[in-house]
Amino acid sequence: MTTSFEWSLPRGSIISGKWKQGSYRVERPLGEGANGKVFLVERAKYYYALKLGSDAVDLQSEVNVLQSIYKQKQKRGASAGQGLFLVDVDDYRAADGKEYPFYVMRYIKGKTLSDYLQAQGKEWFPVVLYNLLGKLAELHEAGWSFGDLKIENILVADYGRPELVDYGGATAFGKGVRQFTEIYDRGYWNAGDRIADARYDLFSFAVLCLQLQEGRRLAQLSSGLLPQTRTPDELAKLAATSSALKPLSGWLRKALYGEFASAREAAASWQQWMHKAGAPSKASAPAPRWLKGLFAVSAAILATTIYLLLRTGP
């Protein structure tokens, strides 16, 4: 897909907000989606990701999603700054005289999901995907489906902490999914409609697991079937015959057939599988690398919590 405008901004360009007068210096492009381009920008020695588009309605929808997630986190007891992803929203008057809406996000320094697993080892697959289910649960509890869940829209930071990026496909529950990629889409596999709900994302999540572990076989399966013969059962069979995914095949089948009521329920089931898989058969058996990773994540969260308490203490 292409964006609705084709020009780019060279390094050093200044994007100034029309209403709030925030100024951001462009460092480099980060990527683009169906409705805009994302740039790494700098302001007061801090780096951010700025998304610039041509359709104010499209970008406002993404802003609404991010604001909803933040409000939901506050309801759950998060502090004022915790989980704050959205930094600024404004309009930019370009050199061509036109005005373009933009919003500024916290910059996530990480790798794509596939690159992270390739660098760290696929032993990290369970813990990263478990954390991703938590991100989806936060989004769903705010009333939104991510929609276009795929490898390219997930970045992973240290300790296997994933972040969803490019909210252009995020859709309010009950409405038609705004953007999707066919191979991850349950409609493509005749597994349901394209109405946004938690089960839509969980279906895509299951296909994402197949893509990560059996990408070549998944592509062959997709291209080798007629549209009317594509079914979730074909995907379930692929999982059951995969050496990497066979232990998870029961969980994947439930996700493919929409049997999880929510991402929280799916995450709890995934966690149960992790504990079973991580239990050594002998007392002297070493813990798997991903289990060590889960411990590292927990330790990092604990350290952050202690730091925040000390900052806000008397």
Residue that has been written with the tokens 């409705």 in this structure: 35
* 51 labelled binding-site residue: yes
Is 222 in contact with 268 (CB distance < 8 Å)?
Answer: no
Which one of 58, 148, 166, 197 is the catalytic residue? 148
DSSP for 192-258, please give it: S-SB-SHHHHHHHHHHHHHHHHHHHHHHHHHHHS-GGG--HHHHHHHHHT-TTTGGGHHHHHHHHTT
Residue type, 182: E
Phi, psi (5° rounding) for residue 92?
-125, 125
- Tokens 């360009």 map to which residue? 13
Contact call for residues 168 and 35 (beta carbons, < 8 A): yes
Under DSSP, the state recorded for 53 is: -
Look at the alpha carbons of 266, 271, 272, 278 in this order and tell me if their dihedral is positive or negative: positive
The contacts of residue 209 (CB under 8 Å, 6+ apart) are 129, 239, 245, 248, 252
185 CB burial (10 A radius; 0-12, 13-18, 19+): buried
Alpha carbons 182 and 193: distance in angstroms, whole number: 13
148 is catalytic: yes
Spatial CA neighbour of 218 closest among 244, 198, 194: 244
Query: Which residues neighbour 75 within 8 Å (Cβ) at sequence distance 6 or greater?
Result: none
Q: How many Å apart are CA 187 and CA 258, to the nearest integer?
A: 13
Q: Which residues belong to the annotated binding site? A: 51
Which residues are marked as active site?
148
Q: Which residues belong to the annotated binding site for ATP? A: 51
